[in-house]
Every structure is written in C-alpha cells, then in structure tokens.
Structure 1
Amino acid sequence: MIYPSNFENKIQFGEIRSLLKESCLSQLGKDKVEKMAFNDDVERINTLLRQTHEFRRLQEEADEFPLQYFYDMRASIKRVRLEGTHLEENELFDLRRSLETIGGIVRFLSRGSDEGVYDFPTLHDLTEGVLTFPDLLRRIDQILDKYGKIKDTASPMLAETRAQLRKAEGSVSRTLNSILRAAQSEGLVDKDATPTLRDGRLVVPIAPGLKRKIKGIVHDESSTGKTVFVEPAEVVEANNRIRELEAEERREVVRILVEFSKLVRPHVNELMYSYQLLAEVDFIRARAELATLMGAMEPRVEAAPVMDWVSARHPLLWLALKKQDKTVVPLDITLKPQQHILIISGPNAGGKSVCLKTVGLLQYMLQCGLSVPMSERSKVGIFQNLMIDIGDEQSIENDLSTYSSHLLNMKIMMRQSNARTLLLIDEFGTGTEPQIGGAMAEAVLNQFVKKQAWGVITTHYQNLKHYADSHEGIANGAMLYDRHEMRPLFQLAIGQPGSSFAIEIARKTGIPEEVIREASEIVGSDYIQSDKYLQDIVRDKRYWEQKRQTIHQQEKRLQERIDHYEQDINAVERDRRDILAKAKQEAEELLRESNRKIENTIREIREQQAERESTRRIRKELEGFKQDVEAFDTKAEDDKIARKIEQIKARKERREERKKKKKDDEQKAAEALRSAALRDQKVRDNVIAVGDSVRIRGAKSEGKVESLSGKMATVIFGDMRTKLPVSRLQLLAAPSEPAEGDAKAETSSQPTKMDVLREGLQSYKMSHMTQDTIDDHRKNFKQDLDVRGMRGDEALQAVQYFIDDAILVGMPRVRILHGKGNGILRQLIRQYLSAEPNVTHVRDEHVQFGGAGITVVDLG
C-alpha cells in the first residue's frame, strides 16, 4: 500500500520519471516509464536491477549493440488486422528498420562463451520467444530501395507504368520548352522563365497582360498577381495522360502494399510481442543512463525489511547542487529490528525534512527497480507499505485543518501498519497546542512501536526524545549543527537527540537580547540547561566520533604497514632458501669442474713424464681434496645467509636513525667530494710516464707503463702486455672508485659461485703441491679465447670452461674473440654471459681493437 495517493508528488518522484523519459529513444520506452510502479516482489526487483547492471556493463564493453531505429509500429501493425488495409510506404520503411534492430538485439544477446552460458544472461531472458521475421525483411527489401521508396522492380506492372510515365513527362517537357523559347523570342515571357508545376501539371509562367497571347488554360497566379501560370493547349492532352499514369502508378503501389500487408496479418500478435523487446530495451537503457547520471548502483535486495545505508544521497538535490559546483552531505542511516523507528531532532533548516524525503524517494525508487545513489556497502530490503505525512494537508472542501489532516493520516497509518511498513512523518504532533500535541504524538508513537512498524520521524518535542531513550525498538537521531559558526552541517548522527538551537538561531537572526532573555526566563532555567547539556553532548559526540575515525585510519595504516613488513620477511625467507639451494648447486658444479681441472693438470704432469713419486703424491692430495669436498658443510652457508637476513631486518629498523644522520652525512660527503676533486685535479695535471703504476678505468688489475707512443700506451699486466689508449688509464695515485661489479657484490646478498668456491676452499687446508699446481695454471692462463670457426655448442662449451678457469685463477677481465659474421655466435655467447652470476659487465671491444668482433667480460 502506498499512502497517500499523491505520495509520488510528496517525494518528487515525478521528476525522476521525467528524467527517465528524457533518456528514452522512443515512445515505446516512455510508455514503460509511465507504467512503472511500486512493487514488493523481491525477485522482480532484483531482476530489474540486474538488467540495469548488465546493460551498464554492456555499454562499457560493447560498441556494436544496436540502438538505432527504435520506432513504435504497434498502431500501424494493429491497423492491418482489418482486411483490405495496408501499411503506407514510410510505415513499411520504419517497420523494416525496426525489425532489423530487433533481430540485431536478439543476435547480440544470444552470444555466449559456452553452450547455454550467455554474456548477459538477464538481458538474454528478454529475447525468449521473440521472432525476427527474416522472410518479411526479404520481401520488404524486394519492395523498397535503401531510401525507403518503392522500387520499379516491385512488380512488372509498376515497372511498365513508370516507364510510360517518364516517357510522357519527357515529351511534355520538350514541348513546353519549345513553346517557352518561342514566347521568349517574341518577348512574351521573361528570358529566365522555366516551366513549373501547378496542381500536378506542367505550366508556363507569363505576365497577366500577355496571357491571351498563348492559347491554353490558366491554372493559377502568383501571390503578388504579377504572374499567371498557363497550360498551353498543345500539352493539355499530354498532361492528362500523365495524370492517368500517375493514378495507375498509385493503384499499383497500393496493390503491392496490400499484398504485403496480407503477409503481415497472420503475424500481428508475434510482431506486437517482438516490439515489447524494443520497449524493454529502451526502458532498461533509460534506467542505465539515469543510474550513470546520478552516480547510482544496483544493490542486492533482501526480502525482509532492511535499511543499512551508507553514503546515501538525494539524487535530485545532488544534481541541482552539482550544477552549482556544490556537494551533498551523504546520509548514513541504519534501521534494524532492535531499533526500527528513528526519531530525528535538530534545528530548523538543518536537513531533517531532506533526510526524510531522501529515505522515502530512495526506497520508492528501489522498489520500482531503479538504481539508487549510495555506497556498495549498503544493505537494502523491501517493504509492503510506504506511508508519508509531510507538509500542510488542510482542505477547505473537506473542512480539515492542518492538525485534523495530520490526525486523519495518523488514523490510517495506525490501522494499516505492520512489521513490513515504512512510515515517514515530518514534524510529528505539530499543528495544535504543544503540550497536548506532544502527548498525542507520544501515544500514537507507542502504537507504531507495538505494531513493529518501521519509520523515520522528525520532531522538536522533548517528550518524544525522552520516549526514544526509554523504550526499546526506537532510537534518537540528530541533525548536527556547528554552534561556533552557527550553521547546519546536514549530517545525521544516530544515538542521541538533537537540540533545536532556538536561542542561538534567534540570536543569529538579530532578535533583541532582551526578548531572548525574557523568553529564557519564561521557559525556565531547567529547560535552558537541559538544552545546553544536549548541545554539549552533540558536540562531544562529534569530537569523539572524529577521534574514532582518526584512530581507525591510523590503525588501518599501521595494519597495512605490518602486513607489508610480514610480506617482506616472507619474501626474504623465500629468497634465502632459493639462494642457498642455488649456491649449493653452483658450488657443487664448480667444485666438480675444479676436480676436472686438477685431473687435467695431473694428466699433463704424467704426459711430461714427471717422477712417479710426485705423481703419486699429487693423486693422494687430490683424493684428500675430493673427501674435503664431499664433507663440505653447508651449515656455514646457512648461518651466513641467516645473518644476511638479520642484517636486512636491522637495516629496516635503522632506517629512521639514518634519516636523522642524513644531513651530517651529506655535509661529510660534500667535504669528501671537495677533497677528492682536489686530488683528482692534481692527478689530471700529471702526465702519464713510462714506469708509472696504472690501472684500466673500471677494473682492479694493476699494471706498469712500458712505453708511450702518442696517445697510446703499452702496459704490462702480470705476464700480459696490452696496448691501450692513454685516456682509458688511471694513475694509482688517484682515489680508487669501486668498480661496477664491486658495487653489485656489496649490494647483493646472493652468494655467487666464486664466493662459495672461495669460502669452500678456505674451509679446509690445501696441500702445497695442489696450491703450486693451481698457481702454475694461473701463470699459464691466457686472457683471450678464440672461438672463431666453432659451432655454437662447441663455442658455448669452450666459453664455459674459459670463464670457470678465469674465475678459478682470479682474472678480473677476459676477452672472447668470436668474429662479426652474422652475429649469431656473438648473440649465443652474450646470452650465456648474461646468466652467469660472476659476470659483472659485458661490452664490445674498442673499435681500434676489434669492435663488435670481440666481447670484453668483467668478472666479479
């Protein structure tokens, strides 16, 4: 039940209907908007909301949905039920286009990812039983052209008639032009005159005084009377023939349309049903457009009365303020079985009536199947009865005063109320003497509580506020007011009553202080003090609510930070296990390769016919080496990685402390940079000379300059002599900069193959003979590897052994000669080197020394 009959006007639902109609594409949708009504069928409401939600998603995901040609052909289709009637040419064209749209909609909504599973299932349900009439479309295409005109080929008779008509019109046109040229030569007609059409007949324009110079029939004259239109006698018969042919053409067109209407007549009911799909789609589209306009959503509606709304907005107020670049204060309201009636108090113009209308309008919109502007966290339900008492309902005709009309509304509400009724009452109990009005309101309110009705009621009466505090099922609410700035906040706070702020508002409006003081004395100090205490409660409530929100936000941020740290710790733990496993695997592989190298060394000693005793001693040391490798204890590695993890945690804890020391560190760094700059300047002023100790920029190896030739220098690194540009050399007197590979080693916690090998070799004592063998291998190691001419797999194997040897002997930089060619060999080698953890940098050699044909590899 909806009460009273003008309920929609009271909550301004008529404006919502108007917005919906503006969004419709045709009268089909507008008729659906007019028929839209309140209902309490939860399945129907949820279906309507799902339709809107799916259509909004459809608009976002698909551009090809057919939304053109929404023509209302229902009246024309109904007309052809009578024998002998037919569709006109333009109606046939609209029927063809609208049927094409219906077919496109059915095809689109029948698409799906799997058999029986559709992309938009709720919308697809609308297409059930809808026919698309392909035979009618084909027949229309045979009759009409793409512009909606009857084709000449629609029938043989029509083609013949139109051919004769064109021939007759051409003959008349030629005759008229001949007569017109003769009349122009005689000066009877203006030089720029042309034949024209009057009453379907071709005529010649001529001055009134000369009309008898041309024999014929005068058909018309211009509005000014300066021109008459004469049909020459020579073309009268021809024009008559044209009129006859036009009549024959029209009869044939009508015959074709009648014949087509006979095809339509058996399918009138099916066609009317198909146009219901157009109406539904138009209505759904309008609902989707309105939802987007209002920023609304489609909640899941529960069958029972539920009202837990978060950030609800009055849509019309929101749209009006949006045009003024203003915002609406959202409404949070909760009604539940334990507190199903809310008594809202507060100052005048504080938003009580707006709150009431917002509840009424949104609930009514929801139960009409419309989207509602509120947060997705909201919970909504349905009511069987919606009743409202708002505004002045006095009636001269019915001899009702304002208070009498309120009492009549209360009588009906008490009679019809139940546990599924929502009551909306504004200024409860007003219109009569306050004391008896408040008492009557309290008694009526007691009846609503007994009937377990739900409601939102606004009032200024203190006794109703006290009643809400002392009875179950009812709660107080207040519209907040800023007492310092003397302005309403339009915020609803549930849990305590609100003050009317009558004294403050009166003082703000300029009422004399004497009048305010006298009024205060009349009501008594107890009332003034109680109202003041109420204001203080509201203020304190607001203050602590803000504090609660602040603490909640801080707790949320703290929890997010804790979760982030826990994720980091878990990630570090996973990385630790992965690094340890990989390090162990690489260490085992490298140690096996070391065994192979040592075996090769022994074989070389044998081939060189070394003494038997020396060979036996070497083999014994080798066996001891193997036993040490097999007994390699990884616990030290575990402890080392665990220490790394602890260091990472410690660094996080010391982060704040480092921020405090940042300023001092920056000053020290600046001073160090200045000192380094001075030293670098001194070094740059020096000229590199023969015998100087130098190193290649970015590398660790130290060398000595053997000779200088222009900008080139010959430098000895160990047993290797290299020719380099002087610009690439750096005097050792300059401050050393950490190489790129060193930086990576310092910042990375991942143990490399070389780290594992070195620590593994340090964990047990190596014999002098084995150490001498490795030292000898280091002396014989060549810094360059030539793989030109090798196959890809051979070259990769050679590079792998070469890099392992370089790591074993501690070589910081090596070169691989692979040639340029097609670049395939270079690419394979670079891919392998990029995956090798001990390789810190890879680049092409300088163009003077081979360029892209040589890869320079820096090892860490």
Structure 2
Amino acid sequence: MIYPHNFEHKIGFEQIRDLLKLKCLSTLGKDRVDEMIFSKNFDEINEYLAQTNEFLQIIQEKVNFPDQFFFDVRPSLKRVRIEGMYLEEQELFDLRRSLDTIIKIVQFLKEIPEDHKEDELPYPHLSKLAGDIFTFPRIVKAIDQIVDKYGKIKDNASPELLNIRRELANTTAGISRSLNRILKGAQSDGYVEKDATPTVRDGRLVIPVAPALKRKIRGIVHDESASGKTVFIEPAEVVEANNRIRELEGEERKEIIRILTDFSSQLRPLVNEILSSYEFLAEIDFIRAKAHLANEMEAIKPTMKNNPMIKWDTAIHPLLQKALAKQNKKAIPLDIELNITQRILIISGPNAGGKSVCLKTVGLLQYMVQCGMLIPLHESSEVGIFNSIFMDIGDEQSLEDDLSTYSSHLTNMKAMVKNCDENSLLLIDEFGSGTEPQIGGAIAEALLKKFNEQGTYGVITTHYQNLKHFAEDHQGIINGAMLYDRHHMQALFQLEIGNPGSSFAVEIARKIGLPEEIITDASNIVGAEYINADKYLQDIVRDKQYWERKRRNIRLKEKQMEQTIEKYSKEVETLNKEKKQIIRDAKQEAENLLKESNARIENTIRSIKEAQAEKEKTKDVRQDLEDFKEKIAQIDAQEQKDKIAKKMERLIEKQERKKNKKKETPSAKSPRVIKEEPIQVGSRVRIKGQRTTGEVLEINGTNATVLFGQLKTTTKLNKLEKSNSTPKEETTATTFISGQTHDSMHDKKLNFKQEIDVRGMRGDEALQAVTYFIDDAILVGVSRVRILHGTGTGILRSLIRDYLSGIGGVKNYHDEHVQLGGSGITVVEFY
C-alpha cells in the first residue's frame, strides 16, 4: 500500500518517470514506464534489479547490443486483425526492421562467448526473458521479397507491377523526349527562355512560358507562378501521354494495395504471436532505459534483504544531485540505518538543515528499488523490503474538503494508525506542527508511542523537545541530528544517528541580524533553563562524539593487540615444532653414528679372532673400542646440544627483534677498556646507566645542556659518559630504561592531561605554556593533544601554530571537528 494518492509527486518519482521516458527508444518502452508499479515481492524485485544490472554491465563494457530499430507497430498489427485491412509500405518496412532487431537481440542473449564455459550465459536474467520468445525470420525474408532497402515496394514484387512500371517508364521517357523537342523549338522561336526546363504541375509534365506568349504554344495552362511572370503549359501533343501516365499510376497503386493485402492476409494468423514478441521488445526498451539512467546516476544493485530494514552508506538523492551538478556542486551523501532495535528515527536540527531532504531521499530510493530500479548508494549498503509506505509531508490544505493543514495531517495520521504494521515505513515531516505547540507535541508523542507499539519503521522530523526525550527513553526509537557548524553558522547537511539535534534558533536569529535586544527578550521569555538545556545538548553531542572516537581507537588498539598476540602465539608454536624436529634429527644422527661405531667394533673383533691373538690382548682391544664408543657418543651428544642451543638462540633472537621494545642481554665477553676523552660541546653522550644518546649543546662549569631527540635537558657532567656509537647505530640501538626512570615516566603518563586551555592568556604566557605542554607530550609519547585557544582575533592561534610548525616531533596540526570546537581548538598529532 502506498499512501497518499500523490505520493509519487511528493517524493519526486514523477520526475524519475519523465527521465526514464527520455531514455526510451520508442513508445514501447515509454508505455512500460507508465505501467511500472511498486512491488513487495522480494523475488520479483530481485529479478528486475538483476535484469537492469546486467544491461548496465552491457553499457559499461561497451558491448555492441542490437538496439538500432525499436518501432512500435502494435497499432498497425492490431488493425490488420480485421479482414481486408493491410499494412502500408512504411508500416511494413518498420515491421521488417523491428522483427530483425528482435531476432538479433534473442541471438545476442542466447549466444555463449568463446571465453565462457559451455552452458554459461553471460547475461542469465536477460536471457531468461528471451527464453520462449518467438522470432519470425520467414516473415523478414518474405518482406525482403516485397520491399527494398529504402522501404519501397520492389518492381518485381509481382509480374503485373513489373509490367505497369515498365510501361510507365517508357511513357514517361516518351513525354520527356516530346517536351524537350517542343521546348527547343519554342526557345529557338523566342517563346521560352533559353534556360527553361520541363517541370511537373499537378502530376503532369509541363513547360514554363511567359504569360504574353502563352498563345504561341498550343496546349493546356495548368498553373501560374506566384509572381505571375510564368505560366505552365502542357502541350497538346503530350496530353494523351500524360493521361496514360495517370492511368498507369492508378493501376500501380491498385497493384501495390493488392500485394500488401495478400501479405497482410498471410500475416493475420500470426498477429498474436508477433504482438507477444513486441512485448519482449518493449521490456528490453524499458530495461535499457533503466540501465542508462542508472549509469547516469552512478546507481548500483544493492544487497537485498527479505525483511524490513535500511542500512545505507553514502546514499544520494538523484534529483538533488542532478540539480546541483548544474552549479558544479555535489549532494551530501546520507548514511542511515533502521533495524529491529532502532526502527523509528527522530531527526531534529535547524531549519534548512536538510531534514526534509533526508526524508525524501529515504522515500524516493526505497520506492525506486521496489519498482525495480537501481539506486545511488555504496555497494556495502543493504536494502530491505516494506509492504507499505506512508508519507505525511508538506501543506495538504484542502479547500474542497474544508480541511486545514493540521486537519489534513491528522487525517494522514489516522490512515497510518489504521493501516501500518511491522512491515510499514512511515515518512513524516514536521511531526505535530500546524497547531498550538503544547497540545500538538502531546498528540505527536501519543502517536509516536502507538507507532512504536505497532512495530513499524519510520523516519520522522521534528523540533519538539518532548519527542526527542521520548526517543531517548524508549526502545525501538532513536534520535538523529542534522549537523550544524556553530562557528561558521551554516548547515552541514549531514545526518548523525544517536544524538538529538539542536534548532540553533538563537544562533540563526543572531546571524540573520535580528536586534540583540529582541534575542535577549526572547531568551528571557523561554527562560535560562531552556536556553541552557539547548547548550547542554550541544555539549553532550560534542562530548559523545569525542568519547565515541576514543572508544573506536580503543577497539582498534585491542584488535591490533589481539592480532599481535595471535601472531606471536603462532611463532611460539612454530618455534616449538622446530625445536622438536631438531631434537629428533639429532637423535637420529646420534643413532646412526652409534650404529657405525658398533659396526667398527664388530669388524675389529673379527680381525682379532682371525689373527688368533691372546685373550688378554683381545680384552684390551675390546676395552679400547668401548672407550672409543663412549667418547664418540659424548662428542656427538655435545655437538648436538650445541647445534640445538645455537638454533634456539637464533630463533629467540629473531623473535625478539620483531618486538617494539627490547631488553639488552648482557654480553658473554668481557668489555674492552677504552680510554675516554673529556666531554666537550658536540660530543655524543648518554646518562650513565641508560642507552639513549644525545648531543652536548653547552657546558657551563660542572653542568651540561644536552639535546636528547627533541628534548633539551641540563644535568651534571659527572653523570654523563661518552657514546662511541654512530647516529645510525643509535637509531637502531635498544634503549635501556632504569626502574626509577620507568616509574617516573609511568606516573607522568598517568597524570598527563591531553588538553591545555590557554584562553585569556597573553601571547608570551600562552606560548610558554604550550612549549612545556608539547615537550611533556613528546616525552610521555602520546599521539594526539588538544590546545584550546578560542577564536577571538586569531592572534593566539597564529602564534601557537607558528611555534608548532618548527617542532620536528609534530606530525601535523589542524582544526578540531566543528561539533567539538572547530577553529577555536587546535589538534596536534605526533609521530
């Protein structure tokens, strides 16, 4: 069900129909555009979308689709059903060309390209349309025997017609010869001008003569020029011949009608089947038009869900985008989601902030997709199906029914309450307006409660505070805000779901230039509590955005941590497998060595027996071999242990290198004693017990100023020692941090606030405070801080940003989001 009757006009779908008709090639497609209706059948909608999407693919891939001749000959075919009626030459020619187009389209859709698998059609949904369509190649051939390539009846269409046209040609040639002879004689006598030629008047060949000389040539005057300076005479000698031409032309026309009548009689039994084929051609024209419009709107086939829901990313109102494109502007995309937990969206915000556009975008795109049209949004979007859509928008005052605007709104509400259910979508603009605010707001709240109980879905715009509060307190309803830039005093046309919007009435009134005394008086009338509530609402929105961003960052860090844990777990598992494999290999190698040793022992014993040596000597030899065996086993075992230890050490080192923070393992070798030179300006030094190196900038007595990275520090000379490492080695060296320093840094990180407020300070005071703040931020390693300096004259902002531009550790700096302070706050990000 679609309500009200002028729904298509309200959402702009009538304009979409007009745009579609412009894309059609004939009245075949235009009639289908008029027949296009809203569907709630999921499979049917999916099929329509798939067909259009396949044709869009044809367009974008620039495939040579046969769409040259789309002629609507259905009226002519229906006329031929009557006995004795026939198709005219042009109608026959249009029939021939359009039937040939149908044949080529069916062949195109059923043809399997060489790069496709057998039985794999490139456009399966369009091919299904062509599956049982009759084509009529014999009729095309029969027409080709009658009509030439210019659409005229051929001379040889029948023997009689051939004879007539031959005689007609001969007679015409004879008349031409006679006229030329008479004309030359008249010219030589001076009756006719030298450049005159024969011409045709009333279907008869004549010669032009001056009026004063017309009696000099015997014949019939047929016409006179508009200027009166020339008359056209048919000489008496060719009158009979011209009469014969008239007779032959009549006979020719009769023969052509006979040929067309005979052909139409043969065509008559097939008219119904041919009309069915033209319905297919109409459908192709309609789908083609939808695809071309989709290509123009950059529309896609979204993921469809067989239940009521909306999950749209970067949805665009196509008509608004078309209008803005003429001004070289772009429409702001809409992100919106309605689901089982947040079915009704209450949108609030300033006037002219885009609330109604948001409402109409939802209505138009949902209606378009359920009419089988592709819509402009992101491919990640999901689109559900609604059984009915109800709308209440604009001034519906009715003089005929004696209804005021508010009465009309209530009439619409009555229809919605009566008919809407869990599969309905409500679109209500300025809910509750049109009457006294207090009772209007109360009725709107009661209706909203009823809609929520019925489980319906909806998008509703309002300014009423009670509806915003109702949305916060009830499951199934959610607030949304159209964003507004408070600093530049302009609408952003962006929807943010989750927070109520402010009307910014005071700010807008002040921007327009309403006298301040009136604004103050109005603020006093509504009371400070109301004004402050609006400000608090804006602050809550700002804070919520800030914490939402924090929460997203935390979730991102947690995800990265989980990935890191998973990565190292896999590495440890791999390490253990390699360890076991090394041990197995070592055991196998030792076993092989022992077998070899046993073989040698047996060979030695055999040699002793063969030499018949003494028993004592044999015993000594056996003992020596046993000693050898034991020695080999010990050597082998030690070698295997060394191999295992070395490989394990390499694997552990590889794993350790991948970690962000590494601890230095003490060297097994004794440190070399190096004779140190005294520390001077320019020396590379480090604090004793630490690994971080810096450069000495200044020495003052027993104190030295050292630059560690971006941080300057002053310390005692006796606490420093020279570093012999190169700058490259220093960048890759592992940093050792003492326990005391680590605890100090930990406390500093816990107590560090990532925001500083310098509003009201003098320039030098603010700059000094920001300097210390940035140094501490770099020291504790935060990634982002905020500096509150306000807008004012912009001096503080310029001073601070000039300073930030010279700090190497600063990655970038920019204005805060408009909802969180805009240009009054500078956000600083570090490497």
TM-score (norm 1): 0.66
1:149 aligns with one of 141, 149, 152: 152
Cα–Cα, structure 1 residues 545 and 183, in superposed 2: closer, same or farther, change >3 Å? Answer: farther
CA deviations over 1:142-182 (Å, ceiling 9, x no partner): 11122222111111111111111111111000000000000
Letter in 1 for 2:48: L
The offset of 1:300, in angstroms, is: 3.3
SS of 1:430's partner is coil
Deviation at 1:571, TM superposition (A): 14
**1:466 alignment partner AA:** H
CA contact (8 A) 1:45 1:301 kept: no
Distance 1:637 1:304, change over 3 A: same
Give secondary structure in 1 for the equivalent of 2:532.
helix
User: Of 316, 339, 342, which residue of structure 1 is paired with 2:342?
Assistant: 339
In structure 1, distance between residues paired with 2:179 and 2:169: 15
* CA 1:559–1:268: 2 relative to 1, 3 Å: farther
User: 3-state DSSP class of the match of 2:252?
Assistant: helix
Cα deviation 1:820-859 (Å, max 9, x = unaligned): xxxxxxxxxxxxxxxxxxxxxxxxxxxxxxxxxxxxxxxx
1:677-688 matched pairs, under 5 angstroms = none
1:15-66 deviation line (CA, Å, top 9, x unaligned)? 1111111111111111111111112111111110000111112233462321
1:508-587 equivalent positions in 2, closer than 5 A: 508-545=511-548
Residue 392 of structure 2 corresponds to: 389
Identity %: 59
Secondary structure of 1:76 counterpart: helix
- 1:175–1:539 CA distance, 2 compared to 1 (3 A): same
CA distance in 2, matches of 1:317, 1:201: 62
Match of 2:352 in 1: 349
Query: Equivalent of 2:500, from 473, 497, 500?
Result: 497
Separation (CA, whole Å) in 1 of partners of 2:451 and 2:304: 25
**Equivalent pairs, count:** 608
Deviation at 1:644, TM superposition (A): 8.7
- How far has the Cα of 1:414 moved from its partner? 1.0
What secondary structure sits across from 2:492 in the alignment?
strand
Q: Does 2:444 align with 1:472?
A: no
Q: Does 1:458 align with 2:472?
A: no
C-alpha deviation, 1:257, in angstroms: 0.9
Are the aligned partners of 2:40 and 2:385 in contact in 1 as well (CA < 8 Å)? yes
SS of the residue 2:459 aligns to: strand
In the TM superposition, residue 479 of structure 1 has moved relative to its aligned partner by 0.9
Superposition pairs for residues 375-386 of structure 1, below 5 Å? Answer: 375-386=378-389
Q: How far did residue 301 of structure 1 move?
A: 2.4
Does residue 287 of structure 2 align to residue 288 of structure 1? Answer: no
For residues 303 and 247 of structure 2, the distance between their equivalents in structure 1, rounded to whole angstroms, comes to: 69
Q: Per-residue deviation at 1:9?
A: 0.8
AA at the equivalent of 1:216: G
- TM-score by length of structure 2 reads 0.68
Residue 31 of structure 1 aligns with which residue?
A: 31
Residue 513 of structure 2 aligns to a residue whose secondary structure is coil
- Output one character per residue of 1:629-655: Cα deviation in whole Å (capped at 9) or x when no partner: xx9x99999999999988988888899
Q: What SS does the corresponding residue of 1:220 show, helix, strand or coil?
A: strand
Describe the SS at the equivalent of 1:444: helix
Is the Cα–Cα contact under 8 Å of residues 59 and 292 in structure 2 kept in the other structure? no
Distance 1:263 1:634 in 2: 100
Shift of 1:443: 1.1
Match of 1:428 in 2: 431
Q: How does 1:623-642 map to 2 (within 5 A)?
A: none
Q: CA deviation digits over 1:614-673, x for unaligned, max 9?
A: xxxxxxxxxxxxxxxxx9x999999999999889888888999xxxxxxx9xxxxxxxxx
Change (3 A) 1:482 1:571: farther
Instruction: Could you tell me which runs of 5 or more consecutive residues in structure 1 were left unpaired when the two chains were aligned.
Output: 574-630, 657-663, 665-860
What is the letter of the counterpart of residue 290 of structure 1?
A: L
Which residue of 2 is the match for residue 416 of structure 1?
A: 419
Question: 1:16 maps to which residue?
Answer: 16
Q: Within 1, Cα distance between the matches of 2:396 and 2:53? A: 39
> Contact 1:46 / 1:300 at 8 angstroms: preserved in 2?
no
Aligned residues of 2:303 and 2:380 also touching (Cα < 8 A): no
Change (3 A) 1:144 1:339: same
Structure 1 counterpart SS, 2:529: helix
**Distance in 2 of aligned mates of 1:426 and 1:411:** 16
In the TM superposition, what is the alpha-carbon distance from 1:547 to its structure 2 partner?
5.5
Match of 2:49 in 1: 49
Residue 108 of structure 1 aligns to which amino acid in structure 2?
A: F
Equivalent-residue separation in structure 2 for 1:311 and 1:443 (angstroms): 33
Match of 1:65 in 2: 65
Inter-CA distance 451–258: structure 2 relative to 1 (3 Å threshold): same
Query: Matched residues in 1 for 2:648 and 2:209: separation?
Result: 113
Equivalent AA in structure 2 for residue 4 of structure 1:
P
Equivalence map 1:200-211=2 (5 Å): 200-211=203-214
Describe the shift of the 1:516–1:257 C-alpha distance in structure 2 as closer, same or farther (beyond 3 A): same
SS in 1 for 2:234: strand
Match of 1:360 among 363, 368, 377: 363
Which residue of 2 is the match for residue 672 of structure 1? none
Gaps of 5+ in 2: 577-635, 663-682, 684-831
CA distance in 1, matches of 2:303, 2:185: 85
SS at structure 2 position matched to 1:179: helix
Q: Specify the SS of the correspondent of 1:46.
A: helix
- The 3-state SS of whatever aligns with 2:344 is strand
Q: For the structure 1 residues 27 and 419, does the alpha-carbon distance in structure 2 shift closer, same or farther, using more than 3 Å as the test?
A: same
Distance 1:169 1:321 in 2: 64
**Residues 73-106 of structure 1, C-alpha deviations (whole Å, 9 max, x = no match):** 1011111111111111111111111001000011
Q: Which residue of 1 aligns with 2:100?
A: 100
Whole-angstrom distance in 2 between the partners of 1:562 and 1:176:
107
Distance 2:568 2:19 in 1: 51
| SS of residue paired to 1:347 | coil
Counterpart residue number, 1:694: none
Provide, for residues 336-387 of structure 1, a one-character-per-residue CA deviation record: whole Å limited to 9, x for no partner.
1222111111111111111111111111111111111111111111111111
Deviation of 1:552 (Å): 7.4
Kept in 2, the 8 Å contact 1:188–1:206? The answer is yes
Amino acid at match of 1:332: D
Which residue is equivalent to 1:609?
none
2-side partners of 1:356 and 1:42: how far apart? 23
Partner of 1:228: 231
Residues in 1 aligned to 2:567 and 2:105: alpha-carbon distance in whole angstroms? 49
